[in-house]
Amino acid sequence: MKKSVPDPPPQYTEKPRRPSTMFIVAPNMDTESLLAHAYESLASASVLASDFANNLIGPQHHTALAIQQVVMLAELAVNRALDNVDPA
């Protein structure tokens, strides 16, 4: 007799993920230093995306500017986090 409901797909077990340790952030780094580095990296990425967008036309130009805006918003969030860590 033919079944009207198919068998469920077999369950696959994933191996535990082991991230590479080639590039690792020093575990003793303080939060303020990490945020300051992230802020500087995002600021650089924002400038790179903006410069790249200036060399494009049409939809590609708008896409690159959208990427630059997302990076800038992340930069603002990190800057606010820095203010929360050290209100000075």
pLDDT, tens only, 11-40:
777 778 887 888 888 889 999 999 999 999
Supply angle C-alpha 60, 62, 64, rounded to 5: 70
- Give the pLDDT band (50/70/90) at residue 1: low
Q: Which amino acid is at 46?
A: S
- Give the pLDDT band (50/70/90) at residue 78: very high
Mean pLDDT of the chain: 88
What CA–CA distance (Å, rounded) separates 56 from 78? Answer: 28
- Cα atoms in the 13 Å half-sphere on the side-chain side of 29: 12
Share of the chain above pLDDT 70, in %: 97
- Cα 12 to Cα 8, 9, 15: the distances in Å are 12, 9, 10
Contact 61, 53 (CB under 8 A): yes
